[in-house]
Structure 1
Amino acid sequence: MISINEVIETNAMISKMNLDVRTITMGISLLDCVGADVGETCEKIYTKITTKAKDLVFIGNDIGRKYGIPIVNKRISITPIALIGSSVCKSTDDYVTIAKTLDKAADAVGVNFIGGYSALVCKGMTPSDELLIRSIPEALACTGKVCSSVNVGSTKTGIDMDAVKLIGEMVKETAELTKEEDSLGCCKFVVFCNAPDDNPFMAGAFHGVTEGDCVINVGVSGPGVVKSALEEVRGENFEVLCETIKKTAFKVTRVGQLVAKEASERLGVPFGIVDLSLAPTPAIGDSVGEILEEIGLEYAGAPGTTAALALLNDQVKKGGVMASSYVGGLSGAFIPVSEDQRMIDAVSAGALSLEKLEAMTCVCSVGLDMIAIPGDTSAATISGIIADEMALGMINQKTTAVRLIPVIGKGVGDQAEFGGLLGYAPIMPVNRFSCEKFINRGGRIPAPIHSFKN
């Protein structure tokens, strides 16, 4: 049981340390929504989403008021749409029609985002998968709340390099179609290796086919709480440092557990997982970069950064798993650039490069997240960056992801403005040497030897 004393203990975390529940995400299966044609499928999708999620926002807000816990976002994740549209979508326009239906449903129930305009192509693309991927630029340009993801690799199957090449081209096209908003459409698209079925965070959330009909997943976030706790043990040894992070992660996760259980009961939907991911915001004091500095680095990116991040990620998970029986999703530390003020500062100071960020993704919870790059970066270079990150996930048996924003019309030294939780980002330099011949080879990179564990 979670006691009211634990709730009271969080008051200071909320009022002074930026603790919040980042999202309540309702996962909804659309497998029973396939109709005879696109029109009937869209009708079924709209009806199911607006029926299942009709009370999500109201109940989420009510729980927040009851406990005094900010619940920042209410979101929906759905079955990957490439699966739902496979028998009825004959063109990219058909898929865009479904995207517009998803956007309309999200508006109707009042959620912030809906994720799952997705395809799972880690070993190869079906014609339906390819149509969906080719529709992504238009779908993201003509909708406001739809988020998209594609899983292109896994430890068990290798990496579909045909999909990686295509996605590089689609990222460029998305950037062009939304260039008036600093290529904002790319902020709503992420590429995965080893994508989890129960991730509540956007833009990568989708409702996996291993999930039930409907489920509640909660994502909590507490970079400010961890930083404040570490200020109390400044200069202490690593044992004290680790214990402090674990205890703090436990408390933060208990808040998420409380919200998840109550939301589950009041919505009449099974509780899925709590995702304890240290997800920063542009607010001062709500930064993973600040945690790394408190651990002892002048800036994120300084020598020792990868070791400090590995320590942080591991202790967060150790503390979190003791607080809930169902910790899942991604659970760890996000290291986006645009959403974290001190990471932005580190880039501006020259301490943090794209290559160093790539090294850090070996030990963080996700990957290269919200990285703004020059708008003239080639599609092949974007695909090469994606391939590198997918390889890290495949070899290390972990989830990795890429969310790149080639900001059309801007270059190194400029700044992209996204607004809200997405903040702003300095344009980071990209290695200008070509990988085009590598990307154009075609086929797939095979699974690593350690994938054969049967």
Structure 2
Amino acid sequence: MLNIMEVDETNKMIEQEKLDVRTITMGISLLDCTAGDVDEVCERIYRKIATKAHDLVSTGQAIERDYGIPIVNKRITVTPISLVGAGACQSPEDFVRIAHALDRAAKEVGVDLIGGYSALVSKSMTPAERMLIESLPQALSETDIVCSSVNVGSTKTGIDMDAVELLGRMVKDIAYSTRDNDGFGCVKFVAFCNATDDNPFMAGGFHGVTEGDVVVNVGVSGPGVVSRALDATRGSDFETLCETIKRTAFKITRVGQLVAQEASRRLGVPFGIIDLSLAPTAAVGDSVGEVLEKIGLAQVGGPGTTAALAMLNDQVKKGGIMASSYVGGLSGAFIPVSEDKAMIDAASTGNLTIEKLEAMTCVCSVGLDMIAIPGDTTAATISGIIADEAAIGMVNQKTTAVRVIPVYGKGVGEVANFGGLMGYAPIIPVNQTSCEEFVSRGGRIPAPIHSFKN
């Protein structure tokens, strides 16, 4: 438990430095909801979510009141739906019916988002997985809080390029289906390599098949806390800088640990993991980009950015991992463009390009995240971007992801607005040199030589 000194420090972090717990996420296995009939699957899914997550929101609100710790989102993750619906779904439209059941159940219990409308296709696709992917434009445009992910590769299996090629077309179709809302459907979709089973953050969260029946995971935040702590390190050497970040990450994670333990106890559900990622918002003073600038960059995106981010990510993990025995999820520093004020500003001036962002993904928590691109970007180009990012994850044995939003009717320099935590983003240019022949070859890119560990 927190001691009195930690309580005082925590109060200051909450009141002055924008500390919050970004999410309490309940993971629910739906493997026992399978059936041979789609209506039966939908009914079982609805009943299980409504039963297991009935008290999730009220419990989160009670913890907020009792401890004074803001908990921004309450969320649910479920077993990848391509597995749950495989025995019943005969068409993409059947999977859409399951998406609606997820949406209804999540709204019934009052959560902000539900993740797990997902497929794991790192080697190849089953017919059910292909149907789920083909259902994405309809499912994400017709539901409000359902989030989706597709894992297209891993270090052990390589990259499924058939899925990568298909996803390029689906991202375009999702954007077109939600074109009246700046392609908002794409905000709810992410393509992964090396996806984790216990990620509490959206849009990529799902409840992996290695997990138990029900579990509570917590994602903390806190870039504003780190930024404020770095004010005292101006002119100091790297040793002082690193120690400051580590100590701050420890304190942030301790808050998440407290919330996770309380949520687990009150809900009677096992505690899973703390994801100690620095998750920014578009608000001033709550920015990973600002942290990088306080480390010494004139503006994020300039020379030194990747090195600064690598150091930040490492120190966050070193400090946070000492505060909890169960650190998991993605854990590190997120760099979503639309959700980070300093990165929005850097992208607006042209200092932060998609190529620089790709370099930064080699050392950050995830990958190319919440990036608005011109609506006329081709499907093949989007597939190429996904393939590049998956290759970084595959070779470097880390999780990488792509969440890009083609904005129909808008071009470079215009702004896409997503609202709430999702923020807003300047539309940035994308290299349009054709890669269609490459992404259309079919088959898969083999796993790298260092994947053979047996």
TM over 0.5, shorter chain: yes
1:449 and 1:27 map into 2 onto residues whose CA distance is 34
User: Equivalent residue for 1:373?
Assistant: 373
Is residue 2:105 matched to residue 1:105?
yes
Question: How far does residue 3 in structure 1 lie from its aligned partner after superposition?
Answer: 2.8
User: Equivalent residue for 2:449?
Assistant: 449
Question: How far does residue 6 in structure 1 lie from its aligned partner after superposition?
Answer: 2.0
Is residue 2:311 matched to residue 1:323?
no
What are the equivalent positions in structure 2 for 1:213-292 lying under 5 Å apart?
213-292=213-292
User: Equivalent residue for 1:126?
Assistant: 126
1:175 and 1:348 map into 2 onto residues whose CA distance is 22
2:234 and 2:51 map into 1 onto residues whose CA distance is 51
What amino acid is aligned across from residue 372 of structure 2 in structure 1?
A: A
The size of the alignment, in residue pairs, is: 454
What amino acid is aligned across from residue 181 of structure 1 in structure 2?
A: N
2:149 and 2:4 map into 1 onto residues whose CA distance is 39
1:291 and 1:235 map into 2 onto residues whose CA distance is 15
Report if the CA contact (8 A) 1:7-1:67 is conserved.
Answer: no
What amino acid is aligned across from residue 193 of structure 2 in structure 1?
A: C
What are the equivalent positions in structure 2 for 1:67-78 lying under 5 Å apart?
67-78=67-78
SS at structure 2 position matched to 1:77: strand
Question: How far does residue 182 in structure 1 lie from its aligned partner after superposition?
Answer: 0.4
User: Equivalent residue for 2:21?
Assistant: 21
Question: How far does residue 9 in structure 1 lie from its aligned partner after superposition?
Answer: 1.8
SS at structure 2 position matched to 1:447: coil
1:137 and 1:208 map into 2 onto residues whose CA distance is 24
2:38 and 2:440 map into 1 onto residues whose CA distance is 34
Question: How far does residue 351 in structure 1 lie from its aligned partner after superposition?
Answer: 1.1
Question: How far does residue 232 in structure 1 lie from its aligned partner after superposition?
Answer: 1.1
User: Equivalent residue for 1:169?
Assistant: 169
- What per-residue deviation string (whole Å, max 9, x for no partner) do you get for residues 87-129 of structure 1? 1000111000000000000100000000000000000000000
What amino acid is aligned across from residue 69 of structure 1 in structure 2?
A: I
2:152 and 2:145 map into 1 onto residues whose CA distance is 23
What amino acid is aligned across from residue 233 of structure 2 in structure 1?
A: V
Question: How far does residue 4 in structure 1 lie from its aligned partner after superposition?
Answer: 4.6
1:296 and 1:2 map into 2 onto residues whose CA distance is 33
1:78 and 1:350 map into 2 onto residues whose CA distance is 39
What amino acid is aligned across from residue 165 of structure 2 in structure 1?
A: K
- What per-residue deviation string (whole Å, max 9, x for no partner) do you get for residues 57-79 of structure 1? 00001001111000000000000
Report if the CA contact (8 A) 1:140-1:185 is conserved.
Answer: yes
User: Equivalent residue for 1:189?
Assistant: 189
Report if the CA contact (8 A) 1:7-1:255 is conserved.
Answer: no
SS at structure 2 position matched to 1:278: coil
User: Equivalent residue for 2:211?
Assistant: 211
Question: How far does residue 7 in structure 1 lie from its aligned partner after superposition?
Answer: 2.6
2:124 and 2:36 map into 1 onto residues whose CA distance is 26
2:6 and 2:104 map into 1 onto residues whose CA distance is 39
1:446 and 1:366 map into 2 onto residues whose CA distance is 22
Is residue 2:340 matched to residue 1:340?
yes
What amino acid is aligned across from residue 300 of structure 1 in structure 2?
A: V
What amino acid is aligned across from residue 10 of structure 1 in structure 2?
A: T
What amino acid is aligned across from residue 188 of structure 1 in structure 2?
A: K
Is residue 2:410 matched to residue 1:407?
no
What are the equivalent positions in structure 2 for 1:379-418 lying under 5 Å apart?
379-418=379-418
CA-based RMSD: 0.6
1:35 and 1:8 map into 2 onto residues whose CA distance is 52
SS at structure 1 position matched to 2:380: helix
What amino acid is aligned across from residue 414 of structure 1 in structure 2?
A: E
Percentage identity across aligned positions? 74
Question: How far does residue 141 in structure 1 lie from its aligned partner after superposition?
Answer: 0.2
What amino acid is aligned across from residue 130 of structure 2 in structure 1?
A: E
SS at structure 2 position matched to 1:251: helix
User: Equivalent residue for 1:50?
Assistant: 50
1:30 and 1:235 map into 2 onto residues whose CA distance is 53
Is residue 2:305 matched to residue 1:305?
yes
Question: How far does residue 394 in structure 1 lie from its aligned partner after superposition?
Answer: 0.1
- What per-residue deviation string (whole Å, max 9, x for no partner) do you get for residues 17-49 of structure 1? 110000000000000001230001111000000
SS at structure 2 position matched to 1:159: strand
2:180 and 2:98 map into 1 onto residues whose CA distance is 24
User: Equivalent residue for 1:36?
Assistant: 36
Question: How far does residue 233 in structure 1 lie from its aligned partner after superposition?
Answer: 1.2
User: Equivalent residue for 2:82?
Assistant: 82
SS at structure 1 position matched to 2:147: strand
1:142 and 1:432 map into 2 onto residues whose CA distance is 30
Report if the CA contact (8 A) 1:21-1:220 is conserved.
Answer: yes
SS at structure 1 position matched to 2:2: coil
Question: How far does residue 2 in structure 1 lie from its aligned partner after superposition?
Answer: 2.9
SS at structure 2 position matched to 1:102: helix
What amino acid is aligned across from residue 80 of structure 1 in structure 2?
A: P
What are the equivalent positions in structure 2 for 1:142-161 lying under 5 Å apart?
142-161=142-161
2:86 and 2:350 map into 1 onto residues whose CA distance is 47
User: Equivalent residue for 2:12?
Assistant: 12
1:223 and 1:413 map into 2 onto residues whose CA distance is 27
- What per-residue deviation string (whole Å, max 9, x for no partner) do you get for residues 201-260 of structure 1? 000000000000000000000000000000011110000000000000000000000000
SS at structure 2 position matched to 1:332: coil
Structure 1: runs of 5 or more not aligned: none
What amino acid is aligned across from residue 276 of structure 1 in structure 2?
A: L
Question: How far does residue 8 in structure 1 lie from its aligned partner after superposition?
Answer: 2.9
* TM-score, L = length of structure 1: 0.99
Is residue 2:423 matched to residue 1:423?
yes
User: Equivalent residue for 2:352?
Assistant: 352
SS at structure 2 position matched to 1:191: strand
What amino acid is aligned across from residue 165 of structure 1 in structure 2?
A: E
- What per-residue deviation string (whole Å, max 9, x for no partner) do you get for residues 371-420 of structure 1? 00000000000000000000000000000000000001100011101111
1:7 and 1:144 map into 2 onto residues whose CA distance is 38
1:234 and 1:224 map into 2 onto residues whose CA distance is 16
SS at structure 2 position matched to 1:10: helix
User: Equivalent residue for 1:294?
Assistant: 294
What amino acid is aligned across from residue 202 of structure 2 in structure 1?
A: M
2:328 and 2:3 map into 1 onto residues whose CA distance is 23
Structure 2: runs of 5 or more not aligned: none
- What per-residue deviation string (whole Å, max 9, x for no partner) do you get for residues 283-340 of structure 1? 1000001000000001111100000000000000000000000000000000010000
Question: How far does residue 349 in structure 1 lie from its aligned partner after superposition?
Answer: 1.6
